């Protein structure tokens, strides 16, 4: 069994630590945070401290990132598997579609999907999705293209290996190959791709929420900053912006460290 | 030649795909229901939705473009846009984006040189921390930090400030690529051969190394252009610039769906033009691309 690089442990520990901290500080014991926050109360939410809002927002942002990252990775895997199993024109067109999705910025497409989703929810056709679910689905619909391209290329490479050719020569079907031979080789790669989607989803959500397009309640980090940005400009909101910014940076740093450290291992596999 | 045409075709195919996908998505929205509930659209907006998108008409997807070319207003009278206004707003955003691109190239060169220097010292960690910080910082954060100076003192032009905050991540991203590519190329045999023949370092860099580094940078121009244009949405919102990004965000917030369709397609067209320009530059600077052509 190969050792997991130290860099990956550091990244995962950072992510886990931030998750536990935001759960405890932002959700379980918010009153402790409110009474000890050195940054004082928020200028636009006078009844809440800056720490409460930042850590509460971190918990929401992290939850959205994990759910959307997981869903987009799963969708990408499914699309890549279906494309490779069918092959030919279907595979070509699916990959063209993925390229088209990939060319557009996440933020722009998420804004359009939020507009569409909110209109459906308002008309009572939202399939029970709230703001959280709507954001997760929007981010997953945007984020599947990258993982699909990565997984499809990886599957293509793996299928050129001798053990796959041998299994095919022995009469193994496409599904058998995928389940028994390809999936075990692909599995560690999935974690790296998931971790690489995590910061992208969090940043896209933050920006869209900052614009006030998503109606996230409780507030995510982006919505927290977006609800009061005009006041922040005039009141010198550095003490409000910097904690939220640092939490975002640490979150992205953790996911990036773990993702980068795990990706080369899987290439060597 | 065929490969080149296929590449160009792929760039251009993005525009009709985005135009049709955004049209049919918007045209299928249940916005026409007039209701007193607070989240439903106003009767004026519902009427403009049907009128501008040509809902239920044959070739209705051409309607928004027809209106734009006739000089008519898309959307409601107060918040809609005409073709001329759209072009004006787009030129504003592209102008900010071009200034940001120049700044990003400056940051890239600076960061690549600094990273190369730090690699041998105690500051090597900064070469990894700065890209992580830049990637983890959405454009609206530096914009919020810079906004008080712009608003209160008026000492900085909002456009220049927007270009400055938009250029940070693309600059660091390009700098990381440039630094890595330079390091790889400088270690190759042909560089040692050129230096041993007595060529000055500047000439070796310009004549031998840069032509091999440029294609790698060209591959990054697409994502960088996307990042610059997407970043302009947040920067224009914070600095109150009335350009394309602000138009797009307001169109989504106010459910001006015809404007969203047109603006999304225009955005895809700008990306396609950038892609075509990159292919053109690649033909000039990369001999391998010219060999594909013959």
CB contact under 8 A, B22 and A100: no
CB contact under 8 A, A203 and B253: no
C-alpha closest to that of A144 among A177, A179, A117, A109 = A109
- Tens of pLDDT, residue by residue over A235-244, are 656 777 888 8
- Length of chain A, please? 269
For A207, the closest of B37, B136, B138 (CB atoms) is B138
ipTM for this model: 0.81
CB contact under 8 A, A249 and B136: yes
Distance of alpha carbon B281 from alpha carbon A159, whole angstroms: 36
Whether B249 has a pLDDT exceeding 60, the answer reads yes
Distance of alpha carbon A89 from alpha carbon A85, whole angstroms: 12
Q: Count the Cβ atoms, other than its own, within 10 Å of residue A99.
A: 16
C-alpha closest to that of A226 among B233, B244, B166 = B233
- Tens of pLDDT, residue by residue over B16-73, are 888 888 888 877 777 655 555 545 567 777 777 777 777 777 777 888 888 888 888 8
Is the bond into A218 cis (omega within 30 degrees of 0)?
yes
How far is the first Cα of chain A from the last one, in angstroms, to the nearest whole number?
12
Would you give per-residue pLDDT tens digits along chain A (269 residues)? 567 778 788 888 988 898 888 888 777 777 777 777 777 777 777 777 788 888 888 888 888 999 999 999 999 999 988 888 887 888 888 888 887 777 788 888 898 888 888 888 777 776 777 888 889 999 998 888 888 988 888 888 888 888 888 888 887 777 788 888 888 888 878 888 888 888 888 888 888 888 888 877 778 888 888 777 766 666 656 777 888 888 888 888 888 888 877 775 544 43
Residue A127, chain B, CB below 8 Å: the answer is: no
Instruction: Tell me phi and psi for residue A41, to 5 degrees.
Output: -85, 155
Mark residue A93 as left, alpha or beta (left: phi above 0; alpha: psi -120 to 50; beta: remaining): alpha
Residues in A closer than 8 angstroms to B138, CB to CB, are 203, 206-207, 210, 222, 248
B263 touches B251 (CB < 8 A):
yes
- Tens of pLDDT, residue by residue over A18-71, are 888 888 877 777 777 777 777 777 777 777 778 888 888 888 888 899 999 999
Instruction: Tell me phi and psi for residue A49, to 5 degrees.
Output: -85, 160
B236 touches B245 (CB < 8 A):
yes
A229 touches A155 (CB < 8 A):
no
DSSP type of residue A46: T
A205 touches A139 (CB < 8 A):
yes
| Best to test chain B binding among A126, A204, A245 (most B CBs inside 10 Å) | A245
The answer for residues whose C-beta is within 8 angstroms of residue B58's C-beta and 6 or more apart is: none
Q: In a 3-state reduction of DSSP, which class is residue B74? A: strand
| Best to test chain B binding among A18, A43, A123, A206 (most B CBs inside 10 Å) | A123
């Amino acid at each position: 069994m190969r050792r997991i690089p130290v860099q990956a442990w550091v990244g995962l520990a950072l992510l886990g630590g931030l998750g536990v901290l935001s759960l405890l500080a932002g959700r379980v014991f918010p009153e402790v945070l409110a009474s000890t926050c050195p940054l004082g109360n928020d200028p636009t939410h006078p009844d809440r401290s800056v720490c409460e809002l930042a850590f509460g927002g971190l918990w929401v942002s992290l939850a959205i990132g994990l759910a959307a990252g997981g869903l987009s990775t799963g969708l990408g895997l499914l699309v890549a598997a279906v494309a490779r199993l069918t092959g030919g024109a279907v595979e070509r067109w699916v990959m063209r579609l993925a390229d088209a999705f990939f060319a557009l910025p996440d933020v722009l497409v998420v804004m359009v999907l939020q507009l569409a989703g909110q209109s459906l929810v308002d008309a009572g056709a939202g399939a029970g999705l709230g703001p959280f679910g709507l954001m997760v689905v929007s981010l997953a619909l945007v984020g599947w293209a990258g993982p699909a391209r990565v997984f499809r290329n990886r599957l293509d490479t793996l299928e050129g290996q001798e053990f796959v050719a041998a299994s095919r020569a022995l009469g193994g079907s496409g599904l058998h190959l995928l389940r028994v031979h390809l999936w075990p080789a692909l599995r560690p790669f999935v974690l790296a791709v998931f971790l690489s989607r995590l910061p992208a989803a969090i940043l896209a959500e933050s920006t869209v929420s900052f614009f006030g397009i998503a109606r996230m309640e409780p507030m995510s980090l982006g919505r927290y900053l977006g609800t009061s940005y005009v006041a922040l400009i005039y009141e010198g909101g550095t003490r409000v912006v910097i904690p939220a910014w640092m939490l975002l940076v640490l979150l992205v740093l953790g996911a990036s460290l773990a993702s980068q450290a795990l990706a080369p291992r899987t290439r060597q596999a | 030649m065929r490969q080149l045409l296929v590449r160009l075709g792929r760039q251009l195919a993005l525009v009709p795909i985005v135009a049709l996908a955004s049209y049919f998505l918007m045209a299928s929205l249940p916005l026409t229901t007039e209701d007193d509930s607070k989240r439903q659209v106003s009767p004026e907006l519902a009427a403009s939705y049907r009128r501008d998108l040509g809902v239920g008409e044959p070739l209705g997807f051409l309607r928004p473009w027809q209106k734009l070319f006739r000089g008519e207003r898309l959307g409601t009278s107060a918040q809609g846009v005409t073709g001329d206004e759209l072009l004006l707003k787009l030129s504003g955003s592209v102008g900010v984006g071009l200034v940001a691109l120049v700044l990003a190239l400056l940051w890239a060169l600076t960061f690549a040189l600094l990273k190369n220097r730090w690699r041998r010292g105690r500051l090597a960690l900064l070469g990894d921390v700065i890209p992580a910080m830049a990637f983890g910082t959405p454009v609206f954060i530096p914009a919020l930090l810079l906004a008080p100076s712009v608003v209160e003192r008026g000492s900085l032009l909002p456009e220049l400030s927007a270009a400055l905050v938009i250029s940070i991540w693309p600059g660091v991203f390009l700098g990381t690529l440039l630094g890595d590519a330079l390091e790889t190329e400088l270690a190759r045999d042909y560089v040692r051969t050129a230096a041993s023949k007595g060529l000055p370092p500047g000439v070796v860099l310009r004549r031998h190394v840069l032509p091999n580094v440029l294609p790698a940078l060209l591959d990054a121009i697409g994502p960088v252009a996307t990042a610059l244009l997407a970043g302009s949405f947040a920067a224009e919102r914070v600095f109150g610039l009335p350009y394309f990004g602000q138009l797009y965000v307001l169109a989504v917030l106010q459910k001006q769906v015809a404007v969203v369709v047109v603006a999304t397609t225009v955005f895809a067209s700008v990306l396609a033009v950038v892609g075509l320009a990159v292919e053109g530059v690649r033909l000039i600077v990369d001999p391998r691309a010219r060999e594909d052509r013959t």
